Amino acid sequence: MKTKLFVIILIMLTGFAFAQEKENYLFKIGDTELGGYLGLNGKYTTVDSDPGGWFDVRAAITFKNNWAIGLGASGLYYDKKLSKLVNDGTYHLNGGYAGFYIEKFFDVSDDIKISVSLLLGNGLVNYIYDKDYRKEKLWYQEKIDETTFTVWEPMVEIQYNLGSNLWLGINGGFRNTSPIEMIGTDENVFNNFNAGFTFKWGVL
């Protein structure tokens, strides 16, 4: 009886291990196995020679041939009070963009991957009075200027598997935008290098 029970348990464990090894995907469409991930990036950059940052959120579907397609959104962090365009207070530069991207992974080892991606999208940027100076203004007076832009951004990432489906890495890229047409603003204000850290959870 003990022998039979041992054999049954052994078969179950073997089957479970095989399934865990084989089913390295999230779902299937026909015979196509698909993975996916959620990613967060923090990137250091400069804005008019001052330090700033961009925070990205990305979500993608991955394929067995090491390709991925996804959606990405980025927001600017630039905590500097500005005043050169007005004489009745201070304001901040705000910006963000979103779009589609494609990504190619290259396996360096079981735990290390290098990826190259290209994002294409559109964005919005504006100057808005700081909160203390918006109190006595009408809603349409709170914005000093605003415009839209297009963006394309290549990026390279080196990622290390921390275990399970967690990945940590470093990234670097160059942001290219159409001219930023706002008063008192360099039209290439967002065209520069950026680098930072990447955190991903999912099946790459």
* Spatial separation of the C-alpha atoms in residues 69 and 37, rounded to whole Å: 10
In a domain, 66, yes or no: yes
pLDDT tens column, 118-129: 999 999 999 999
SS3 content of the chain, % helix, strand, coil (to 5): 15, 60, 25
In a domain, 188, yes or no: yes
pLDDT tens column, 127-157: 999 988 888 788 778 999 999 999 999 999 9
In a domain, 168, yes or no: yes
In the predicted model, residues of the chain with pLDDT beneath 50 are 2, 5-7, 9-22
In this structure, what are the phi and psi dihedrals at residue 22, rounded to the nearest 5 degrees?
-80, -40
In a domain, 11, yes or no: no
* Overall number of domains in the chain: 1
Indicate which CATH number applies to the domain containing 129: 2.40.160.20
In this structure, what are the phi and psi dihedrals at residue 149, rounded to the nearest 5 degrees?
-155, 160
pLDDT of residue 6: 46
pLDDT of residue 199: 97
pLDDT of residue 5: 47
In a domain, 122, yes or no: yes
In this structure, what are the phi and psi dihedrals at residue 49, rounded to the nearest 5 degrees?
70, 0
In a domain, 166, yes or no: yes
* Spatial separation of the C-alpha atoms in residues 21 and 164, rounded to whole Å: 12
In a domain, 74, yes or no: yes
pLDDT tens column, 83-94: 999 998 999 999
Range of the domain at 111: 26-203
